[in-house]
Amino acid sequence: DAMVIQNPRYQVTQFGKPVTLSCSQTLNHNVMYWYQQKSSQAPKLLFHYYDKDFNNEADTPDNFQSRRPNTSFCFLDIRSPGLGDAAMYLCATSRDGVAGTDTQYFGPGTRLTVL
Partner 1 sequence: KQEVTQIPAALSVPEGENLVLNCSFTDSAIYNLQWFRQDPGKGLTSLLLIQSSQREQTSGRLNASLDKSSGRSTLYIAASQPGDSATYLCAVRRNYGQNFVFGPGTRLSVLP
Question: Which of residues 81 and 109 has its CB atom nearest to partner 1 in the complex?
Answer: 109
Q: In what order do the strands lie in the sheet with 19-25?
A: 4-7, 19-25, 73-78, 64-67
Q: Which is nearer to partner 1, 80 or 96 (CB)?
A: 96
Q: How far apart are CA 85 and CA 112, in angstroms?
A: 8
**Residue closer to partner 1 (CB basis): 32 or 78:** 32
Q: Which residues bind partner 1 (CB under 8 A)?
A: 4, 6, 31, 40-45, 48, 50, 55, 57, 88, 90, 92, 94, 97-98, 100-109, 111
Shortest reach from residue 86's CB to partner 1, in Å:
14
Label the pairing between strands 44-50 and 105-106.
Answer: unpaired
Residue 103 gets which letter from DSSP? P
